[in-house]
Amino acid sequence: MGKPKRDDNFPAGPVSLKTLAAYLDLDPATVSVVLNQVPGRSIPEATRERIRKAALKFNYEPSFLARSLRNRRTMTIGILVPVLADGYHAEVMTGIGDRLLEEKYFYFIAHHRHRTDLIEQYPRMLINRGAEGLIAIDTNLVDKLPFPVVSVAGHRRISGVTSVELDHHRAAELSLRHLYDLGHRTIAVMRGQPYSSDSDARWQGIVEVARDLGLSIRPELTIQLEKDLTSPELGYPVVEQLLAHHRRFTAVISFNDIAAIGCIRALHDSGLRVPQDVSVVGFDDIKEAAFQTPSLTTIRQPLHKMGELAVELLLQQLRRSGAKIVPQVAVEPELVVRESTGPSRLRRRKASSTRPVCNVSSAGGSYSNSRRNTE
């Protein structure tokens, strides 16, 4: 369907509010009230319909910028994120976007690749372009900012910023206890990249829980991620190098699911089976985790919920000037057990050695159960 034809007597070019009002022989304020859907004004429905038809006919759109300046509201939020193509960040952004959509907010996204210069510049650039507040995902903010800010996985304490964070100590308890109960005592641990805001908190949780369980985190079995990658290639070479040095381990705790997928491939290419030879635990529970072969045991972060929660906290600040800002809101992790973890080899050998053995007597064919113990 094409656009309605313009009136031959109507001026060419963009149509202003005053021009449209003159054409309708109405006060510009009346036209503005109708087209901007301002409540509380008594205007006959016939007049309202005439204004709407004229606006459609002449392709008139109310000036959002002018309305924003009058109301001092742009209904726009800025979002800072390191990358745009990663499962973790995409899930959090989806939660943010869905909630902002419900609240009829628009949003800008800027990705910074963990560059400190952009992390310093982008917040003010977004605000100067109309954003009323900011949500920062996995971003190490540097300074206090003079506008409402909520971070997701920020960890650094900054005055005036609310941080939505996973309980990483609880996550370490879930992952290490799961492996411990399966008989694993020699566990390789993958540390996150130094620039990732989750790295230190996740590592600290693992160290504390391992100490409580009496497990030793051996330096030669600690893998340090360095590359800024969002594909399984992140975890492949570091595990390949670990195997090349003939390190012995029965399980791996990965920094995230993407790296865990690369880890599983490296183990497979080295002739090791998961979980029969090595168990692997991921982190995040991205959508791909359930569809790998084997499917990935992982720590689930409620990523969509964390995005929604960040929006709620930011809108509370925008709606209530001077509202008390909570420095931190913790969310609970969940262990999702799938196919990539199983009993250690030692545990399996012990289990097989204690199976009942049938001893048949030479007389009468009777038998008795006995257990062999090879410990």
Q: What are phi and psi of 169, to 5 degrees?
A: -65, -40
* pLDDT recorded at residue 324: 78
Task: Tell me what pLDDT residue 365 has.
Answer: 35
Structure confidence at residue 68 (pLDDT): 54
Torsion of CA 337, 338, 340, 345, to 10 degrees: 70
What does the pLDDT read at residue 350? 66
The domains located in the chain, with CATH, are 17-70 (1.10.260), 72-167+305-328 (3.40.50.2300), 170-303+334-349 (3.40.50.2300), 351-375 (no CATH)
C-alpha separations of 133 from 126, 149, 217, 311 in Å: 9, 6, 42, 10
Measured in degrees and rounded to the nearest 5, phi and psi for residue 244 equal -65, -25
Dihedral, 290, 86, 328, 192 alpha carbons, nearest 10: 90
The pLDDT assigned to 10 comes to: 58
**What pLDDT is recorded for position 32?**
82
Q: Point out the residues of the chain with pLDDT beneath 70.
A: 1-14, 38-40, 62-72, 321-323, 348, 350-375
pLDDT digits (tens, 9 = 90+) for 62-117: 665 555 545 557 889 999 999 987 788 999 999 999 999 999 999 999 999 999 99
Q: What are the pLDDT digits (tens) for 176-224?
A: 999 999 999 999 999 999 988 889 999 999 999 999 999 999 999 999 9
> How much is the pLDDT for 34?
85
- Per-residue b or e along 231-258, where b marks 16 or more CB atoms closer than 10 Å to that residue's CB: ebebbbebbbebbeeeeebbbbbbbbbb
SS3 string, 225-290, reads CCCCCCCHHHCHHHHHHHHHCCCCCCEEECCCHHHHHHHHHHHHHCCCCCCCCCEEEEEECCHHHH
Q: Are 264 and 257 in contact (CB under 8 A)?
A: no
Please state whether beta strands 251-253 and 297-300 pair in parallel, antiparallel, or not at all (unpaired): unpaired
> Which pTM does this prediction carry?
0.74
Q: What is the per-residue pLDDT for 29? A: 86
CA–CA separation, 298 and 68 (whole Å): 45
